[in-house]
Amino acid sequence: MSHTWDPDRYLAYADERGRPFVDLLARVPAETPRVVVDLGCGPGNLTSLLADRWPGADITGIDSSAEMIAAARDIGGITWEVADLRDWARPDAVTLVSPVDVLVSNATLQWLPDHLEVLPRLVDRVAPGGWFAFQVPGNFGEPSHTLRTDIAERAPYAEHVRGVAVPASHEPDDYARLLLDLGCEVDVWETTYLHVLTGADPVFDWVSGTGARPTIQALPDGLREDFEDEFRALLRRAYPADASGRVVMPFRRIFAVARKAP
């Protein structure tokens, strides 16, 4: 079963999900780019920040989710396209007639198991002297992910979720070395955010809108509810609320900004 995305559910934590994008963009010193592309633009709320930053640029938001692009089309002044990132990065791709001056990808590459192999092709789409900036989660060893894996590997769930999309990333030095080998100037770093969440099951609400969504959607009625109940209970234990009902969820993210040689 192919999963779909829910823009409203994703935007439930828009501020927390948006901060890494702002931190990434702050390290891109491009002044007057002509062509700017956001790969994996989601519902477009963050892509609009690119239009604010560079009002004279031709800005395109690309996402493989028709649901996300449908939500993004409410934002004017930006071109929106439904496309697979890997197709866009093909050497013979003709989506754009000009090289990209600023290429941004926020919390998207982790869905491509082979994204280290895709990165050189993305750099190829950047104009000489242009910028390529991306951010991926680096928290896949945390209970928010490992508990999903543990439950999904057991019967009766395993037979239904085998082969579903599961996000993963590499270490910062992996990205730094690859981009350096491509001849780029490189700035790579990591940050662990401490998100303060509230609600009955806030960590479940977070992961069920992103990393765990393909697994949950792959389960049939009945089993899906059982899986969710078990997952919620384990997450509550792993991320206990304090006396005021607040939950602190650490979230590590990995950032890379590369400038292509002029």
On whether residue 49 sits in a domain, the answer given is yes
CA distance 58 to 79: 8
Structural domain count of the chain: 1
Q: Angle 223-14-167 (CA atoms, 0-180°, nearest 5)?
A: 50
Four-residue CA torsion sign, 111, 95, 68, 250: positive
Does the residue 40 lie in any domain?
Answer: yes
Does residue 64 lie in a domain region?
yes
What would the mean pLDDT of 125-153 be, rounded to a whole number? 96
Within a domain: 183: yes
Order the strands of the 79-82 sheet from edge to edge: 79-82, 58-63, 35-39, 100-106, 126-137, 247-259, 185-197
Q: Is residue 92 part of a domain?
A: yes
* Residue whose entry in the numeric block shows the structure tokens 């192919």: 2
Asked if residue 198 belongs to a domain, the reply is yes
Going by the DSSP 8-state scheme, the letter that residue 104 receives in this structure is E
Asked if residue 2 is part of any domain, the answer here is no
Cβ neighbours of residue 176 closer than 8 Å, sequence gap 6 or more = 186, 188, 256
Identify the bridge partners of residue 60 per DSSP, sorted by sequence position. Answer: 37, 79
Reported as a single tens digit per residue, the pLDDT across 187-230 is 999 999 999 999 999 999 999 888 889 999 999 999 999 999 99
Parent domain of 128 = 7-259
Within-domain flag for 124: yes
Tokens representing 18?
């948006």
Question: Which CATH number covers residue 36?
Answer: 3.40.50.150
Map tokens 């990132």 to a residue.
85
Output the average pLDDT for the chain.
Answer: 92
Q: What is the pLDDT of residues 88-106, one digit of tens each?
A: 888 776 555 579 999 999 9
